[in-house]
Amino acid sequence: MVNISVLVSGGGTNLQAIIDKIESGELAGAKIVQVIASREGVFALERAQKAGIKGKVIKETEELLKELKAEDTDLIVLAGYMKVLEPAVIEAYRKRIVNIHPSLIPKYCGKGFYGKRVHQAVLDGGETVSGATVHFVDEGVDTGDIILQRQVPVEPGDTADTLAARVLKTEHVILAEGIKKVMADLPEKGGK
């Protein structure tokens, strides 16, 4: 079993997608051992509770590392996590941290590009195609190796909200696919 700690900061629809896909058997071999939120009161924590998964708010790196270790974490999934992880975490879980980003990296990513801002920038840039990316997390912001990417059309008349909703649907699909891919390559699963 691959133990996954999911880190969140918001509504948690990507978390829900992983929960649902584990339950349906689409993401067999994975177990969410805990959900860690960067702040109090996020709906993602309610989703965790409803699914019977341990949830907690953690703001400090020391405590985060301790909890990740305590739950025997194999893989960390950033599912709408709006904080940049400290190098100590990256170092401890190199190639074991996966992030979902709502654009086609290297476009519309990096510092300041998160959530709705990404989609507004895509619209302002006059793009006709956007998308989502699953990638490994390294010391930079959205600079880690790309695992999986999928295009989503920008439709005439789109607002940041309508585009976000369309991209989010694709995120839910490729996040699980990306996790599957990474799980297959984990050393303890016979991968590299």
Residues of this chain that interact with ligand GAR (CB under 6 A) are 10-14, 44, 79-80, 100-102, 114-115, 118, 168, 171
Complex with ligand GAR: residue 11 or 61, whichever CB lies closer: 11
Nearer to ligand GAR among residue 73 and residue 133 (C-beta): 133
Q: What's the min distance (Å) between Cβ of 30 and ligand GAR?
A: 17
Minimal CB distance residue for ligand GAR? 80
Instruction: Tell me if residue 176 falls in helix, strand or coil.
Output: helix
Amino acid identity for residue 46 in this structure: E
Q: Which residues contact 54 (CB under 8 A, 6 or more apart)?
A: 33, 34, 35, 48, 71
Sign of CA dihedral 124, 125, 127, 133: negative
CB of residue 141 to ligand GAR, shortest distance in Å: 8
HSE toward the beta carbon, residue 93, CA cutoff 13 A: 26
Residue of 101, 119, 135, 172 with catalytic role: 101
Q: Which is nearer to ligand GAR, 33 or 174 (CB)?
A: 174
The answer to whether 172 is a known catalytic residue is no
Q: Which is nearer to ligand GAR, 70 or 165 (CB)?
A: 165
**C-alpha to C-alpha distance for 77 and 159, rounded to whole angstroms:** 28
Residues near 20 by beta carbon (within 8 Å), at least 6 away in sequence: none
Active site residues: 101
